[in-house]
Amino acid sequence: MTDAVKLLDVVAPTVNLPEFNLWRGQVGTVVEILADGRVRRYK
C-alpha cells in the first residue's frame, strides 16, 4: 500500500483543519495536484 495521493483519489481528513475549512471525516475528491505538491480537492 502506498500513501501517495493521486488524481481522482477519494480523501478525508482524520483531524479537523478549520484554517482550511475542512472537518474530520469530510469526503472529497482530488481534482488537481499542484507543482509544489499541494492538492486541490472538490467537496
Query: What pLDDT shows up at residue 35?
Result: 82
Q: Mean pLDDT throughout 5-34?
A: 91
What does the pLDDT look like over 26-38, one tens digit per residue? 999 988 888 887 7
Lookup: cell for 26: 469530510
Q: Mention every residue, 6+ apart, whose C-beta is less than 8 A from residue 41.
A: 11, 28, 29, 30, 31
Global pTM exceeds 0.75:
no
